[in-house]
C-alpha cells in the first residue's frame, strides 16, 4: 500500500489584502496544474503496470514461473519486482523532505520515476483481477475522487480535525494489515478495505482543502520555481489518495480471475 505524506494543515484566515480576482485566477491555474500532474502520473502508472503484465519480455524481468509446495505453477516475484514494490516509499520520503531543496527539474523527474515504480509494483492487479472489473473500479474511484475533491475545494467547513482523525485511522489500518499478514483473516481484510475507502475518501477532501488554503495563504510568495515544485508535491498527495482508494475499492468489488 502506498503511504500518503502529509504536512500540517494551514488555514487561510485572511483573504483581505489580496486582489481577489487575481487570487482566484491564480488558484484555479494552480489547482489545474496539480490535477494535470496527478492525472498524468496515473496514466503513466497504468501504462507501466499493464506493459509489464502484457509484454512477455518485461514480465520475465519481474516475475518467474515456479512450482509451489502444493505442486501448482505460480508467478514468483524477482528481485527487481521487490525493488519496485519498496521503491515508491523511498521516492515519497525524498520528495517529502527534499521538495524545498531540490530543483524543479529534479522534483518533476522524481515524480515521473515514482509513478513508473508504482506502476511496476501494481502489475499484480492484472494477474489477480479481470480487466473489466479493474476498469469498472477505476471509474468508480474516479467518480468518488472527483466528488470528494470538489467537496473539499468548495466547502466552508474546516476539515483539519477530520484530517488528523483520518491520519490516525491510516496508522491503525497499516498496523491491522501487518497483523493480518499472519492471521490471513477474510473478515479482518474486509474491515480493512471498508475503513481504507472511508479514510482515503476523507483524506482526499482534506488534502484538497489544505492545498487550496496553502495557496490562498502563501501562493503570492511562491514564485515560479516554488509553484512548480509545490504543484508536483501536492499532486503526489492527491495521486496517493487516488491509488489507495482504488486499491481498497478493488479489494471490495474486483472480480478475481478464475485461472
Which tops the pLDDT comparison, 214 or 1?
Answer: 214
pLDDT tens per residue, range 80-104: 999 988 888 888 888 877 777 888 8
Rounded mean pLDDT, 247-254: 97
Residues forming beta bridges with residue 65, ordered by sequence position: 75
Angle between helices 160-183 and 186-218 (to 10 degrees): 150
Rounded mean pLDDT, 25-43: 95
Q: Say what the pLDDT of residue 11 is.
A: 44
> For residue 66, what is the enclosing H or E element?
strand 63-67
Rounded mean pLDDT, 158-171: 94
> For residue 219, what is the enclosing H or E element?
none
Q: How far apart are CA 91 and CA 216, in angstroms?
A: 28
What percentage of the chain has pLDDT greater than the value 70?
Answer: 92
Are the C-beta atoms of 153 and 31 separated by less than 8 Å?
Answer: yes
Rounded mean pLDDT, 151-178: 94
Point out the least confidently predicted range of 45-49, 81-85, 180-184, 218-222: 218-222
Q: Say what the pLDDT of residue 92 is.
A: 83
pLDDT tens per residue, range 52-69: 999 999 999 999 988 777
Q: Say what the pLDDT of residue 4 is.
A: 52
Predicted confidence (pLDDT) at residue 3 exceeds the cutoff of 50: no
Q: How far apart are CA 24 and CA 108, in angstroms?
A: 25
Name which of 199, 211, 207 is nearest 244 in CA terms: 199
Rounded mean pLDDT, 115-142: 96
- For 177, other C-beta atoms within 10 Å of its C-beta total 14
Q: How far apart are CA 89 and CA 114, in angstroms?
A: 9
DSSP symbols for 19-47: -HHHHHHHHHHHHHHHHHHHHHHHHHHHH
Q: Say what the pLDDT of residue 25 is.
A: 86
Q: Say what the pLDDT of residue 102 is.
A: 87
Q: Say what the pLDDT of residue 8 is.
A: 43
Point out the least confidently predicted range of 44-48, 81-85, 96-100, 201-205: 96-100
Name which of 37, 80, 36, 48 is nearest 61 in CA terms: 80
Point out the least confidently predicted range of 63-77, 155-169, 241-255: 63-77
Q: Tell me the average pLDDT of the chain.
A: 88
Q: How far apart are CA 31 and CA 213, in angstroms?
A: 11
* β pairing state of 73-77 and 63-67: antiparallel
Predicted confidence (pLDDT) at residue 176 exceeds the cutoff of 70: yes
- For 129, other C-beta atoms within 10 Å of its C-beta total 18
Predicted confidence (pLDDT) at residue 184 exceeds the cutoff of 60: yes
- Which residues lie closer than 8 Å to 163 by C-beta, 6 or more apart? 6, 9, 202, 203, 206, 207, 210
Amino acid at each position: 500500500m502506498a503511504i500518503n505524506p502529509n504536512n500540517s494543515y494551514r488555514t487561510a484566515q485572511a483573504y483581505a489584502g489580496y486582489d481577489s480576482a487575481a487570487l482566484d485566477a491564480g488558484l484555479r491555474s494552480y489547482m489545474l496544474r496539480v490535477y494535470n500532474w496527478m492525472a498524468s502520473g496515473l496514466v503513466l502508472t497504468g501504462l507501466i503496470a499493464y506493459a509489464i503484465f502484457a509484454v512477455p519480455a518485461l514480465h520475465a524481468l519481474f516475475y518467474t514461473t515456479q512450482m509451489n509446495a502444493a505442486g501448482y505453477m505460480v508467478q514468483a516475484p524477482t528481485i527487481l519486482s521487490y525493488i519496485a514494490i519498496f521503491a515508491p516509499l523511498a521516492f515519497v520520503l525524498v520528495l517529502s523532505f527534499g521538495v524545498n531543496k531540490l530543483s524543479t527539474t529534479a522534483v518533476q523527474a522524481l515524480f515521473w520515476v515514482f509513478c513508473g515504480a508504482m506502476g511496476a509494483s501494481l502489475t499484480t492487479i492484472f494477474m489477480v483481477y479481470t480487466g473489466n472489473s479493474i476498469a469498472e473500479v477505476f471509474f468508480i474511484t474516479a467518480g468518488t475522487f472527483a466528488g470528494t475533491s470538489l467537496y473539499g475545494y468548495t466547502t466552508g467547513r474546516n476539515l483539519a480535525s477530520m484530517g488528523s482523525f483520518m491520519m490516525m485511522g491510516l496508522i491503525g489500518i497499516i498496523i491491522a494489515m501487518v497483523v493480518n499478514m499472519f492471521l490471513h483473516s477474510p473478515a479482518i481484510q474486509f474491515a480493512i478495505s471498508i475503513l481504507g475507502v472511508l479514510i482515503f475518501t476523507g483524506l482526499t477532501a482534506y488534502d484538497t482543502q489544505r492545498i487550496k488554503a496553502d495557496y490562498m495563504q502563501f501562493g503570492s510568495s511562491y514564485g515560479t520555481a516554488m509553484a512548480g515544485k509545490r504543484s508536483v508535491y501536492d499532486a503526489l498527495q492527491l495521486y496517493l489518495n487516488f491509488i489507495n482508494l482504488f486499491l481498497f475499492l478493488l479489494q471490495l468489488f474486483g472480480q478475481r480471475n478464475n485461472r
